[in-house]
Amino acid sequence: MKNIRNFCIIAHIDHGKSTLADRLLEYTKTINITEGQMLDDMELEKERGITIKSHAIQMEYELNGEKYILNLIDTPGHVDFSYEVSRSIAACEGCLLIVDSTQGVQAQTISNLYMAIEHDLEIIPILNKCDMPNSMPEEVSDEIVELLGCKEEEIIRASGKTGQGVEDILKAVIERIPAPQGDPNAPLQALIFDSVFNSFRGIIAYYKIINGSIRKGENVVFVNTKKQYDADEIGVLKMDLCPRNKLTCGDVGYIVSGIKTATEVKVGDTITSASNPSPQAIEGFEEVKPMVFAGIYPIETEDFEMLRASLEKLQLNDASLTFQPESSVALGFGFRCGFLGMLHMEIVQERLDREFNMNVITTVPNVSYHIFDKHGEMKEVHNPAGMPDVLEIEHIEEPYIRASIITRTDYIGNIMTLCLSKRGELIKQEYVSGNRVELHYDMPLAEIVIDFYDKLKSISKGYASFDYHPIGFRPSKLVKLDILLNGEPVDALSTLTHVDNSVYFGRRMCEKLKELLPRQQFDIAIQAAIGAKIIARETVKQLRKDVTAKCYGGDVSRKRKLLEKQKRGKKRMKEIGNVQVPQKAFLAVLKLD
């Protein structure tokens, strides 16, 4: 156990975490890298450069004649996955804090770092991308010193690209990070920090043994789900699964036990022995709760069952996705899906498209609302269409978050204006370094869900990083805004909005829909209404009259292609009443500017 080091990496997106990790794997001869970055193996992950799911890998390294086992536990680098990050951190004794020397410390780095500090991890600060001409090592070092209270000499200068500093990092991992502690003779306690789905073997759970040991074939219990399994196979994670007969305290490993559904393996759960159970579970377990909800509907109503099958398959390796059947007057039968956040939602949407070839409509995302009726009873609503009658509502509460935004001082004004328009309340403001500021805001989550990132990025020209965590529910004056097409309310376009913004919001919705709805054989009236009161109206004029163009021998092909393109466009539309509505119109609200 004294020669084991368990560590993770904390870094902002694009700060070079994966590349540097690859270098470590190469240097320890764990792998010869030919293409791409090893730790991200989903196609989508590669494209987006985000590690969506955490992975783990074992390296071997010799220092001063001693052999060491280094377990690198990878962490996802996005706010949506902060709970998963916290469990990965809890499985480690140390962490590499990677900061891009051309960018400096970002909001997300800080919040994950605080998490690591809370768990008493030994932090090894690393300045990455030192080979870049625009690297600012001194300035960024100062930021790190300020942040960690460490000495400047403790910061390792590295480059994932050239391999600079890799040896120093490995050395620091062994020398600075403490070996895991724990009692090998105590009852088994292993922390699940991740799981993956394998189509042949079912769900494979990844864990770190905190106390005790586990043997192949042993009967184990997952404490929170209370389910029992036989450990058909256990082992350690190298480039492939490497089976072992026994793993003991401090080890990071996997277990295969024929589990079919991902929901049975909860990140943060404790594995213990069935015959000699540990009296308590490892602290910090939480049921992952979806934060953002949206309806997903098949364009063709007959594809409903196929959509269900696709979502079930997605859930196999994404336990944080939830879905429940619902129906909409406008869209027919579909599912209300719950996501960890906006990125998670986008990923699910893209995977449905790419991996399952499902043509779907996603409705405007919303958060979960607590609706209190006159008798003081609370109802949780995940869909604006499911709101009870206004007269029955006593008050509504909505989830709030504490946001942290780090930016250059030049953009403070713009960002404050944005946050204000998003009903944000400034809590504090502090300098990270000479010209960089961290702003803390309390904001309704619902405002973040709707086009906050994009706006933040554009007004700060990309020089703002953002992180948040939920801080509970607060009462809000919310109203339900309905959209009507030719007098028919389209439930899938209903939103909850703050009463003060509602008129402006309704007007913008109508304007945006006017842009997005193609002209049809008749005029289309677009109206925004609160209750029975119409607050805005736009009209999409009927189709331009097709007047007479020539069509002779040389025109046939061109004209056919034109009409076929038109038909393809229509196939991606949903007919509501007699109005054809394109998919993108359902997300109109996200595109308001």
Partner 1 sequence: MLYIHIPFCKQRCIYCDFYSTIFNKEKSRKYVSAVCKEIELLNHDKGSKPLDSIYIGGGTPSVLGIDCLTELFESIRQHFCFNQDYEFTIELNPDDVTTELIAFLKNNGINRISLGVQSFNDEQLRFLNRRHNALRAKQAVEIISNSGINNISIDLIYGLPNQTLEQWNKNIHEALRLPIQHISAYSLMYEENTPLYKLRESGKIVEADEQLSFQMYKSLCSTLKQAGFQHYEISNFCLPNKHSRHNSGYWNAKPYIGIGAGAHSFDGTIRYFNEENVDAYIQNPGHPPRVFEKLSLNERINEYIFTSLRTAKGLNIIDFQNRFGNQAFNHIQKFSIRHINNKHLQLNNNQLTLTEDGIFLSDDIMSDLMIVD
Task: Name the residues that contact partner 1, by CB under 8 A.
Answer: 520-521, 543-554, 556-557, 559-560, 562-564, 566-568, 570-571
Q: Name the residue type at position 435.
A: N
- What's the closest the beta carbon of residue 563 comes to partner 1, in angstroms? 4
- What's the closest the beta carbon of residue 556 comes to partner 1, in angstroms? 6
The residue among 375 and 550 lying less far from partner 1, judged by its C-beta, is: 550
- What's the closest the beta carbon of residue 545 comes to partner 1, in angstroms? 4
- What's the closest the beta carbon of residue 301 comes to partner 1, in angstroms? 15
Helix axes 166-176, 17-27, angle to 10 degrees: 80
Residues 6 or more apart in contact with residue 551 via CB below 8 angstroms? 559
The residue among 199 and 557 lying less far from partner 1, judged by its C-beta, is: 557
The residue among 3 and 359 lying less far from partner 1, judged by its C-beta, is: 359
The residue among 378 and 556 lying less far from partner 1, judged by its C-beta, is: 556
The pair of structure tokens assigned to 499 is 């009463």
The residue among 260 and 561 lying less far from partner 1, judged by its C-beta, is: 561
How far is Cα 239 from Cα 199, in angstroms, rounded to an integer? 18
Residues 6 or more apart in contact with residue 125 via CB below 8 angstroms? 97, 99, 144, 148, 150, 154, 155, 156
* Nearest partner of 483 among 497, 463, 464, judged by Cα: 497
- Phi then psi dihedrals of residue 302, to 5 deg: -70, -10
The residue among 255 and 524 lying less far from partner 1, judged by its C-beta, is: 524
Residue 479 in contact with residue 504, Cβ under 8 Å?
Answer: no
Q: Supply angle C-alpha 412, 418, 422, rounded to 5.
A: 140
Residues 6 or more apart in contact with residue 484 via CB below 8 angstroms? 490, 525, 526, 527, 528, 529, 534
Q: Name the residue type at position 112.
A: N
Residue 223 in contact with residue 269, Cβ under 8 Å?
Answer: yes
- Phi then psi dihedrals of residue 467, to 5 deg: -145, 155
The residue among 354 and 571 lying less far from partner 1, judged by its C-beta, is: 571
Residue with tokens 């730790």: 39
* Residues constituting the chain: 593
Chain mean position to CA 590? 18
Kindly list the distances between the CA atom of residue 589 and the CA atoms of 362, 415, 423, 447, 582, in Å, as whole numbers in the listed order. 12, 21, 17, 11, 14
Kindly list the distances between the CA atom of residue 481 and the CA atoms of 40, 237, 293, 499, 509, in Å, as whole numbers in the listed order. 42, 52, 17, 9, 10
The residue among 34 and 548 lying less far from partner 1, judged by its C-beta, is: 548
- What's the closest the beta carbon of residue 180 comes to partner 1, in angstroms? 57
- What's the closest the beta carbon of residue 541 comes to partner 1, in angstroms? 9
The residue among 113 and 360 lying less far from partner 1, judged by its C-beta, is: 360
- What's the closest the beta carbon of residue 519 comes to partner 1, in angstroms? 9
- What's the closest the beta carbon of residue 557 comes to partner 1, in angstroms? 6
The residue among 289 and 572 lying less far from partner 1, judged by its C-beta, is: 572
**Which three-class secondary structure state does DSSP give residue 53?**
coil
How far is Cα 190 from Cα 171, in angstroms, rounded to an integer? 27
- What's the closest the beta carbon of residue 522 comes to partner 1, in angstroms? 9
**Residue 175 host element (H or E):** helix 166-176
How far is Cα 312 from Cα 440, in angstroms, rounded to an integer? 38
The residue among 336 and 574 lying less far from partner 1, judged by its C-beta, is: 574
The residue among 349 and 359 lying less far from partner 1, judged by its C-beta, is: 359
- What's the closest the beta carbon of residue 558 comes to partner 1, in angstroms? 10
- What's the closest the beta carbon of residue 226 comes to partner 1, in angstroms? 49
The residue among 329 and 563 lying less far from partner 1, judged by its C-beta, is: 563
Rounded to 10 degrees, what is the CA torsion of 451, 397, 378, 472?
A: 80
- What's the closest the beta carbon of residue 542 comes to partner 1, in angstroms? 9
How far is Cα 306 from Cα 488, in angstroms, rounded to an integer? 29
Chain mean position to CA 301? 29
**Which three-class secondary structure state does DSSP give residue 424?**
coil
- Phi then psi dihedrals of residue 195, to 5 deg: -150, 155
Rounded to 10 degrees, what is the CA torsion of 429, 432, 433, 439?
A: -30
DSSP letter assigned to residue 235: E
- What's the closest the beta carbon of residue 580 comes to partner 1, in angstroms? 10
